[in-house]
Every structure is written in C-alpha cells, then in structure tokens.
Amino acid sequence: MDKAKGIEPCSELPGLYVHVPFCRKKCIYCDFASTTQLGRMTEYVEAVLREADAYSELRARWDSLYLGGGTASLLPIPLLERLLSGLLKRFSFLSDSEITLEANPCDVSVDLLQASKELGVNRFIVGVQSFQDPLLGFLGRRHDGTAGFNALKLARKAGVEQLGLDLIFAVPGQDLDRWREDLDTALEFQPEHISCYQLTYEPGTRLYALKEKERLRPLSESDAFSFFWETGERLAKVGYEQYEVSNFAREARFRSRHNEKYWSHIPYLGLGPSAHSFDGRNRHWNYRHLNRYLDRISNGESPVEGSEILDREALRLERLFFGFRTHFGLRLGTLEPGPITCLSGNDEQLLNQLANDGFLVRTETGYRSSRRGLAVADALTAMFA
C-alpha cells in the first residue's frame, strides 16, 4: 500500500461540478436537490451556461468535470451535448481531464454511451444501488435489478474508460448474503470504481418519516458495521482500495479525481441549483430550488444563496474530518498550505492508543484510519475537534 506518498491528492487544479436536478421520481431516501419538472430542462441548460459565463474570467486550468444529480443522464442527448460542449468551450480543461457522467440504469443506451464518449466523458457512473428487485422497489428506484446489470454490460461493451457504480447497504430487510451477492454481481464487471453507501435517514425524506413513525426499523449499529466490514473485506480481497469511507478504486489511478478535491480543500466550482463552490478560503452555494435558480439567472442576478469564509479553525475541523475518513489521513504537526496543526503532539498518547486499539494506522508522517477507524470516523473526528 502506498503509505505516505499516497497522502497527496493527485492534482491541485480546480474541478467543475454541474448539478442536474431532474428526476423522474424521487427515491425515498434522497435529500439531494431534485425536481420532476422535466419540462424546464432546456431553460436549465441555458441557465447553467449563463452562470458559467459569469466565471469566464477565471483563468484557471481545470482537470475534472462532474455531471451529477439528480439524474444527469435524464438530459436528452442534444441537451447533454449543448451543456457539455458549452462548458468545455468556456473553461480550459486539460486534455487528460476526468469527465464524469452519472447515469440511471434506465437511461443507459448505446446512443447515450456513444454521445457521451464523443463529448469526452471518460468516467461513467451507473446508479445501480442493488440488483435485488424487492429492495429497489422499497427504495423507490424506477429500475429493476436486470436494468442495472444490463446497463453495466452495455457500458463495458461500449468501451467506457472508467466504469463505476453505486450500491446501497444496510437497508431494512436486506440480508448480508444478498449484499454479498450484489457485490459479486458488481465485481463480474470489474468496475474501476465502486461506491457503497450505507443507507442514511435524512430528515425531510420519506424514509426518515417512515422511521419516525416506526413503520420500519433501521439496522442496529452492529449489523450496519457487519455490512460495512464485509464490504471492505470482500472488495479488498479482489484488490480494491477503500480510499474513502464509501469509495473503492480498483487501482489508485481510478480514484475519483474530482471527489478528492472536496476532501482536500482543492478549489472547485459548482454550477446549477444547490451546487457548492470553494476557492480555497471561501465557500458559497446556490439556491437549492430549480425555479428560484432559474428566476435569478433569467433576471441577471447571482444564483448564490450564501457563503462562508473558512477561518483557520474551520479549516482545521474540516481537515480532521476529511483526514479520518479518507486515505489521506492526518499529519502530525503542520499541514500545507498554511500552518494548520491537525494533530498535535499533545494528542500523541491518545493517537497511540487508538493505533494500538486498531482504529488508526501509522503512516510516515502521521496517522490514517484503518477500516475499523473508517467505520467510526465521525467519532474519531469529534475526539480531536
């Protein structure tokens, strides 16, 4: 394993994110900004491009572009072309940039794969979530297991450079054996990237309401841990690196370059409703609702709803938080840029003990979480916050 060397993110260049807020229907667990007003897609694409214009003075060179959602793949191909080519025209991307498109299995077609490939998409993430139909039904997904399977097959056949998929575990009623099956099915495609998310109960979602009304009972903490542990074990066995709590890469070069920017305070620009941007000091975010976002843009107003400046302490807390949940880990002493101490010598005894207890692994410059540590990364952060 690449110890200290792997600590640095692979690039310092900024990344661009576009939030595509459209969904045919809302899944019961989802708290992302999304809308079913599919009729406003054209308007939306134009608005994003107008928003992008506002940043045209940025002289930066970019090396990642991420189309996420919502459901990015819901955009009709011509609109997708208009959006992507418009962005590529407005911002200067390196030739080997990582360009990611998220897709719902239902939307994956030969045409989409062909078109996106031509537009430069080299990373294709399929929102499979599960191969088990009852589970997909419960979650409110609009596809079945076969659709997920076929989408991956199609993507592989189309020669997608980096194929990734999302899976969900710790769903009430989900059984550990079924989960293993899901992982095995996914592994058949040898995806470059796998994200495995524990189902979470976010306030405001239907899932949360069900839990509150005691119509369902979330898995116990120790059951959730079993799923988490099993996932890490199984994927590690076939060579995947758990480079973040929920993210696995088949090789180091298949880690999500774009997402790593979030986790290491590398600047990023977010376009579209609810998108967040960060310039190294300042973070700002757009209005969450599509209508509001579109109104602001069409009135020539900024879609930014709020912002914050990260002071030293805020940066330190976030670094701690990211450090414990990623392969970056934490340095003892100072971390560049700026003299921000993340872990001080005073913490040494505690760090030592956490290492002895198997939560942390020593690196050349500090510590990072072991798999056991990743499972409790929030608690670790709180200890040093």
Partner 1 sequence: MVFGTSRLFFGIEKEKNRFLIRDVHDSEDPSNSFNGTLVNAMKRIRNFSIIAHIDHGKSTLADRMIQLTGIADERTFRDQILDSMDIERERGITIKSQAITLPYQSKDGKQYELNLIDTPGHVDFSYEVSRALASCEGVLLLIDASQGVEAQTLGNLYLALELDLVVIPVINKIDLPSAQPERVMEEIEMELGLDSTGAILCSAKEGIGVEDILEAIVSRIPAPKGDPDKPLSALIFDAQYDAFRGSIIHARIMDGEIKAGDTIRLLSTKKNFRVEEVGVFQLNREPAKNLTAGEVGYIIAGIKSVRDTRTGDTVTMAERPCAKPLPGFREAKPMVFSSIYPVASDDYQDLSDALEKYQLNDAAFTYQKDSSVALGLGYRCGFLGLLHLEVVQERLEREFNQSLIMTFPSVRYRFRVKSQGLLTVDNPALYPDPVDIEESFEPFIKATILMPERYMGVVMTLCRERRGVNLRHHYPVPGRIEFTVDLPLAEVIYDFYDKLKTVTQGYGSFDYELLDYRSSDLVKVDILVNGERVDALSHIVHRDRARLRAKQACDKLKEEIPRHMFKVAIQGSIGGQVIARSTISPFRKDVTAKCYGGDVTRKRKLLEKQKAGKKRMKMIGQVVVPQSAFVSVLKSDRD
Using the rule CB under 8 A, is 132 a contact of partner 1?
Answer: no
322-341: contacts with partner 1 (CB under 8 A): 322, 325
Using the rule CB under 8 A, is 385 a contact of partner 1?
Answer: yes
Q: In angstroms, give the least distance from the CB of 156 to partner 1.
A: 26
Of 147, 165, 351, 354, which lies in the binding site for partner 1, with binding defined by CB under 8 A? 354
The nearer residue to partner 1, 99 or 199, going by C-beta atoms, is 199
Of 65, 99, 163, 245, which lies in the binding site for partner 1, with binding defined by CB under 8 A? 245
The nearer residue to partner 1, 149 or 169, going by C-beta atoms, is 169
Using the rule CB under 8 A, is 73 a contact of partner 1?
Answer: no
Total of chain residues touching partner 1, rule CB under 8 A: 49
Contact 263, 326 (CB under 8 A): yes
Q: In angstroms, give the least distance from the CB of 281 to partner 1.
A: 14
Using the rule CB under 8 A, is 198 a contact of partner 1?
Answer: yes
Using the rule CB under 8 A, is 91 a contact of partner 1?
Answer: no
Tokens of 368: 């990072």
Question: CB under 8 Å to 98, separation ≥6 — which residues?
Answer: 63, 64, 65, 66, 122, 123, 162, 256, 257, 258
The nearer residue to partner 1, 22 or 285, going by C-beta atoms, is 285
- Give the three-class secondary structure for 168: strand
- Give the three-class secondary structure for 58: coil
Site string for partner 1, 290-309 (x = CB under 8 A): ------------------x-
CA–CA gap between residue 146 and residue 199 (Å, rounded): 21
Question: CB under 8 Å to 121, separation ≥6 — which residues?
Answer: 84, 99, 100, 101
Using the rule CB under 8 A, is 275 a contact of partner 1?
Answer: yes
Place of tokens 């078109």: 115
Using the rule CB under 8 A, is 347 a contact of partner 1?
Answer: no
Q: In angstroms, give the least distance from the CB of 112 to partner 1.
A: 23
CA–CA gap between residue 51 and residue 90 (Å, rounded): 11
Of 88, 119, 224, 252, which lies in the binding site for partner 1, with binding defined by CB under 8 A? 224
* DSSP-assigned beta bridge partners for residue 16: 65, 269
CA–CA gap between residue 128 and residue 113 (Å, rounded): 16
CA–CA gap between residue 219 and residue 204 (Å, rounded): 20
How many DSSP H helices and E strands does the chain contain? 14, 17
- Selection from 197, 115, 186, 183 nearest residue 151 by Cα: 186
Q: Parallel, antiparallel, or unpaired: how do β-strands 333-335 and 340-343 relate?
A: antiparallel
CA–CA gap between residue 345 and residue 368 (Å, rounded): 16
Using the rule CB under 8 A, is 176 a contact of partner 1?
Answer: no
Return the range that interacts with partner 1 (CB under 8 A); candidates 35-43, 89-97, 119-127, 375-383.
375-383
Of 6, 148, 270, 329, which lies in the binding site for partner 1, with binding defined by CB under 8 A? 270
Chain residues binding partner 1 by CB under 8 A are 17, 32, 197-200, 221-222, 224-225, 228, 245-246, 259, 262-263, 268, 270, 274-278, 283, 285, 308, 314, 317-318, 320-322, 325, 350, 353-354, 357, 359, 374-383, 385
